[in-house]
Chain A
Amino acid sequence: NAGVTQTPKFQVLKTGQSMTLQCAQDMNHEYMSWYRQDPGMGLRLIHYSVGAGITDQGEVPNGYNVSRSTTEDFPLRLLSAAPSQTSVYFCASSYAPRGWGGYTFGSGTRLTVV
């Protein structure tokens, strides 16, 4: 059972480039979300999804797009990378909406935008 798998683990982008961070889970969880972690800021929610075809914005959605075509996958797209998007990105999934199911996190993607 792989849990939540994020790829790539590391990425360097030039300003203006686009890329997609991949997130896949094999636990049949309905709820998936993306967080970014910046020094001294904790983790902040970017986007989340409550099921296939349903997504919504979190605290810091600007510059990111998401879609959820299947239960398993929840990719995060950067359309035009900016240095301010240099961060560590975590994907999380949960089988329940209210926290009692707990959250499983991927191992993270460290992104540097130069």
Chain B
Amino acid sequence: AQKVTQAQTEISVVEKEDVTLDCVYETRDTTYYLFWYKQPPSGELVFLIRRNSFDEQNEISGRYSWNFQKSTSSFNFTITASQVVDSAVYFCALSEAGSGGSNYKLTFGKGTLLTVNP
């Protein structure tokens, strides 16, 4: 069964600090996809990144970076020089690519509430 754990329920930082959001996943499939979504106070889900299990390259997009390590089943997300607008709930999610019904399902972690204070 697939599972995503975001151990940090809430994180509070001061603007310009760097912050890392942790994500640990469990899956039996060798092919899977990992996602990060942002949910700002307005409530919509904003797609940030998708990574497949065969691509362990780290990715950087502006102030955002992602560290994917299959050896530790982790897909951590770092915001550099955080800003107040980064305040949101961040979800990590997993989609298995194996056969059967599970490949139509996104399994979400419970989310991490990030508060960036001015």
Cross-chain contact A45 with B97 (CB below 8 angstroms): no
What separation, in Å, do the CA atoms of A88 and B44 have in the docked complex? 10
In the complex, what residue of chain B is closest to A49 when comparing beta carbons? Answer: B104
Binds B, one of A16-24, A76-84, A94-102: A94-102
Q: Among residues 65 to 83 in chain A, which have CB atoms less than 8 Å away from a CB atom of chain B?
A: none
- Residue pair A43, B108 in contact (C-beta under 8 Å): yes
The reply on B62 being an interface residue by CB < 8 A is no
Check A33–B105 contact: CB distance below 8 A.
yes
| Residue interface bits A42-53, CB-to-B below 8 A is 1, else 0 | 111100101000
**Chain B residues numbered 36-84 whose CB sits less than 8 Å from any CB in chain A:** 37, 43-45, 47, 50, 52
Number of A-B residue pairs with CB-CB distance less than 8 Å in the complex they form:
70
For B, the interface residue count at a CB cutoff of 8 angstroms equals 27
Chain B CB within 8 A of A12 CB: no
Query: Which residues of chain A are within 8 angstroms of B93 by Cβ–Cβ distance?
Result: 43
Q: Which of A31, A99, A110 has the most CB of B within 10 A?
A: A99
Interface size class of A (residues with CB under 8 A): 20 to 34
Q: Which of A48, A59, A105 makes the CB contact (< 8 A) with B45?
A: A105
8 Å CB contact of B110 from A35, A40, A102: A40
Q: Which residues of B contact A (CB under 8 A)?
A: 4, 9, 31-33, 35, 37, 43-45, 47, 50, 52, 91, 93, 95-97, 101, 103-106, 108-111
Q: Given contact pairs A43-B91, A99-B32, enumerate 8 new A-B contacts (beta carbons under 8 Å).
A: A31-B104, A50-B104, A56-B101, A98-B95, A99-B103, A100-B52, A108-B43, A110-B43
Residues in A lying within 8 Å of B, measured CB to CB = 31, 33, 35, 40-45, 48, 50, 56, 58-59, 88, 90, 92, 97-100, 102-105, 107-108, 110
- 12 contacting pairs across A/B (C-beta < 8 A): A35-B108, A42-B4, A42-B91, A42-B108, A42-B109, A43-B93, A56-B104, A99-B52, A99-B103, A100-B33, A103-B35, A108-B44
